[in-house]
Amino acid sequence: MKFISALNVENCTKCSVRIEAKYAKKTFKSVASRQTIFLELVHSDLADFKNAANKGGKTYYITFIDDCSRYTKIYLLRFKIEAGKMFLKYNAEVEN
């Protein structure tokens, strides 16, 4: 008995997301030295969710990473304009 018909592979196209996910990424350079004082250097990134559904209608997120302790904080945002307010919130939280 034949349950599955033969699949013609020639007519199949590759999904762009799948191709992008398979790309080999270059490794990051190892860090020679880190800051020794808390909050001396904070790395930040603002990005969107790329059409992923999330609770509360948030479409962006911002991250703050302390270079010394690697303490990471993530805030969800509705609009990019909220980034400044979230930095002030982060600053108040970590200095407290």
Domain that holds residue 87: 42-96
Q: Which comes out higher in pLDDT, residue 41 or 24? A: 41
Q: Judge whether 17 lies within some domain.
A: no
At 1 the pLDDT is 56
Q: Judge whether 18 lies within some domain.
A: no
The tally of domains found in the chain comes to 1
Rg for the chain (alpha carbons), in Å?
21
Compute the distance between CA of residue 69 and CA of residue 73 in angstroms, rounded to an integer: 12
Structure confidence at residue 52 as a pLDDT band (50, 70, 90): confident
Q: Judge whether 60 lies within some domain.
A: yes
Q: Judge whether 78 lies within some domain.
A: yes
**Dihedral sign computed on CA atoms, order 14, 18, 21, 22:** negative
The pTM of the full predicted model, rounded to 2 decimals, is 0.65
Q: Judge whether 48 lies within some domain.
A: yes
Q: Judge whether 92 lies within some domain.
A: yes
Compute the distance between CA of residue 83 and CA of residue 64 in angstroms, rounded to an integer: 11
Q: Judge whether 83 lies within some domain.
A: yes
What one-character-per-residue DSSP string does 22-60 give?
Answer: HSPPPPPPPPS---SSTTSSEEEEEEE-TT---GGG--E
Longest dimension (CA), the chain: 71
Q: Judge whether 52 lies within some domain.
A: yes
